[in-house]
Amino acid sequence: MTRVSENSSTASLKYALNKTKEKVEDLQLKGSTLKSITKPSDNPVSNVEAMSLTSATNDNIQYLKNADFALLNLSVSEKSIEELTEIVVKAKEIAIAQSSDFFNADIRKNVANEVQQLYNQSLAISNKKVGLKHIFSGTKTLTVPFDSNGTYQGDKGHVSLEVSRNFFVPINLTGEEVFFNNSEIGKAENPLENFEQFQDKNIKINRDLASADETEKLEATTEDKAFQSRDNLFSQLQALTSALENNDPKMIQGLLEKFDNTISRLVTLRTRIGSIVNSVETSKNSLTSENIDHASRRSALVDADVTELFSDINKQQAILKTTYQASQGVMNQTLMDFLR
């Protein structure tokens, strides 16, 4: 037979009251936050999954910010190329009109002023910025891409942003791609790069004079390379201005094909930007859909069932009240109750 003392009865009642109070407190905390998990120990497995979903959602939010910034840069680049296309088309129209013998030298000199304004507009577009960064200077975004003479001061690099996990897109075009017809412009070529090394080789020196034909061929090649290095949008506008000022219709007519090539290149670049924009927008839609799925799954893991929660709160409060009433007779006994 087990002896039950008053102290043990009191301790048991206190323990039961504390357990009931803890349950009520826990339910009230969940009711204030409407979360079924208020600390990791409530459900470790669900808590780990919920934290993983939260981390993935935060990553997607940053990817969406990157995508918005990429779309901004691409939009500005596309608009700039559209404006450049209009300038080149206008220059071509002027060249077509002024290449005929219908106009005299005075008219061509007046038109040359208009072409000079087109040159100034294209130079302003080439140095356009988004915020503090130039869009046509490659990775040297803080460097002005072109000086007043149209000399490129940027590089050939592209700025890339991660718009989805492990998916990077270029958000800019270099000045060489946009303004130069030759992709090799600006490359400092080493004159000995293609030469074999002369170690252990017999070198034969030819002192014969070059023939006249070879000399002419060499001069023509040099002139072609010099002209090729100047084959860009700025040089074309400058050449048109010079031809108009010098009243040279043949030179004006010779620029028509180059204007066509420039227009074709600009249209191709706009198409390229459009494909990148489509990829970024597709990525944004995918990220938005993922965030919705993550939110739905996380809600199922950590959000409390409101109806069930408040039903449990009422139930535990009733249990606590009953426990108080049951313990009232034992807890409030005095010495006189035992002497009766």
Domains of the chain, residue spans: 19-34+305-329, 52-186+216-295
Indicate yes or no: pTM above 0.75: no
Give the distance, in angstroms, between the CA of residue 306 and the centroid of all CA atoms in the same chain.
42
Q: How much is the pLDDT for 39?
A: 76
Q: How much is the pLDDT for 215?
A: 43
Q: How much is the pLDDT for 144?
A: 94
CATH code of the region 52-186+216-295: 1.20.1330.10
For the chain, list residues with pLDDT below 50. 1, 184-201, 203-212, 214-229
Q: How many CB atoms lie within 10 A of CB 114?
A: 13
Q: How much is the pLDDT for 6?
A: 61
Backbone angles phi, psi at 163, to 5 degrees: -100, -5
Q: What angle do CA 20, 24, 29 make, to 5 degrees?
A: 150
Whether the CA torsion 227, 228, 229, 234 is positive or negative: it is: positive
Nearest to 254 by CA among 85, 104, 92: 92
List, for residues 8-29, the tens digit of each pLDDT value.
767 777 777 777 777 777 777 7
